[in-house]
């Protein structure tokens, strides 16, 4: 059976998510197979291995290797999963296609909202609850938690720090490469380092986690991409599932998936030490409420 993170794929929907998450790390030949399957899944169900190989301009061996790369024993098991995902795939193409920039504002808004909803739904399908639990345990016991995120990933990184701070967990966020390296070099065994990178390839975030790990700190990453450099430097991996927009050459819904995942982690942490952490939350909520104009 195929796997994403540590979850066994029992739902055919996860097949499409798996292909997307691994796409950037496929060979050129494997990408041709992925492109064909994602574009013509409905047709591929009725073809044999040689016919798919011909349409994707690859060898039959590449098809077999591709099937194993995404976690199946071979082509036949992959084909069964494709058949099960057929109706789902048609629905995704109809409602979750790329952003129609040439269309009207209503269509653009619907597409963006549907993609954000899909990213949350897909992330829930592949979420590793054991990893969430382990991350929560480490964060509760940590002397401090440093969070790293560059560029647009700094949005989720800052959100994580805000959440942790609200319940009294000492946390800092670093979106400057030099400050991130300084921070990680001072971490110790009792600390936690969290790296946020949708692509898993942010050099500065990966390097910060590498240094933190060398110092025996627990490293946690939040990423969309399996087999990426950040995964190799992380003790605990939290996967999201969002797809890139080919039109805009970026993932608009990655932050939504990351923030939702962080909320799940936040709630898990509170559940482990309810009395103390809810008390801290009440204190900080009261302090914030005093800043409101009407005070109520």
| 175 phi and psi angles, rounded to 5 deg | -120, 5
Please report the pLDDT score of residue 126 as a whole number.
84
Six-digit token string for 170: 């000492």
| 171 Cβ neighbours under 8 A, 6+ residues apart | 144, 145, 146, 147, 160, 161, 164, 165
Orientation of helix 86-95 relative to helix 13-22, angle to 10°: 60
> How many Å apart are CA 154 and CA 7, to the nearest integer?
27
Please report the pLDDT score of residue 246 as a whole number.
58
pLDDT digits (tens, 9 = 90+) for 246-266: 556 566 788 999 999 999 999
Domain edges within the chain: 3-95, 126-289
Superfamily of domain 126-289: Glucose-6-phosphate isomerase like protein; domain 1 (3.40.50.10490)
3-state secondary structure at position 10:
coil
Which residues of the chain register pLDDT less than 50?
1-11, 87-96, 295
Q: For Cα atoms 222, 112, 104, give the angle at the middle one, nearest 5 degrees.
A: 160
Please report the pLDDT score of residue 222 as a whole number.
97
> How many Å apart are CA 285 and CA 294, to the nearest integer?
15
Please report the pLDDT score of residue 158 as a whole number.
96
pLDDT digits (tens, 9 = 90+) for 264-280: 999 999 999 988 999 99
- CA-closest candidate to residue 252, choices 230, 224, 220: 224
The answer to whether 3-95 and 126-289 have equal CATH topology is: no
Please report the pLDDT score of residue 96 as a whole number.
45
Please report the pLDDT score of residue 262 as a whole number.
97
> How many Å apart are CA 52 and CA 43, to the nearest integer?
9
Please report the pLDDT score of residue 98 as a whole number.
63
**How do the residues of the chain divide into helix, strand and coil, expressed in percent and rounded to 5?**
60, 10, 30
Q: Which fold has domain 3-95?
A: Arc Repressor Mutant, subunit A (1.10.10)
* Residue ranges with strand state E in 59-211: 145-149, 171-174, 192-196
Dihedral of alpha carbons 237, 239, 245, 251, sign: negative
Please report the pLDDT score of residue 13 as a whole number.
60
| 56 phi and psi angles, rounded to 5 deg | -90, -5
> How many Å apart are CA 243 and CA 250, to the nearest integer?
9
């Amino acid at each position: 059976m195929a796997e994403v993170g540590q979850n066994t794929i029992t739902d055919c929907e996860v097949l499409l998510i798996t292909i997307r998450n691994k796409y950037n790390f496929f060979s050129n030949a494997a990408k041709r197979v992925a492109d064909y399957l994602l574009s013509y899944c409905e047709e591929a169900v009725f073809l044999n291995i040689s016919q798919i190989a011909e349409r994707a301009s690859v060898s039959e061996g590449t098809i077999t290797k591709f099937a194993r790369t995404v976690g199946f024993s071979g082509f036949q098991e992959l084909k069964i999963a494709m058949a099960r995902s057929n109706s789902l795939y048609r629905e995704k193409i109809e409602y979750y296609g790329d952003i129609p920039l040439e269309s009207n504002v209503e269509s653009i808004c619907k597409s963006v909202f549907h993609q954000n909803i899909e990213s949350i739904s897909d992330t829930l399908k592949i979420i590793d609850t054991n990893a969430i639990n382990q991350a929560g345990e480490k964060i509760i016991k940590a002397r401090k938690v440093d969070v790293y995120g560059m560029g647009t990933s700094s949005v989720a990184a800052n959100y994580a720090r805000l959440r942790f701070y609200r319940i009294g967990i000492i946390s800092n966020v670093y979106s400057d490469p030099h400050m991130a390296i300084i921070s990680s070099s001072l971490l110790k065994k009792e600390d936690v380092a969290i790296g946020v990178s949708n692509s898993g390839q942010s050099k500065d975030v990966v390097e910060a986690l590498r240094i933190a790990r060398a110092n025996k700190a627990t490293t946690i990453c939040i990423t969309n991409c399996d087999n990426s450099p950040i995964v190799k430097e992380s003790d605990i991996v939290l996967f999201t599932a969002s797809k890139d927009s080919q039109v805009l050459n970026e993932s608009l819904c990655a932050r939504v998936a990351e923030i939702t995942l962080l909320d799940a982690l936040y709630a898990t942490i509170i559940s482990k030490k309810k009395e103390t952490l809810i008390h801290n939350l009440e204190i900080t909520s009261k302090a914030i409420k005093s800043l409101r104009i009407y005070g109520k």
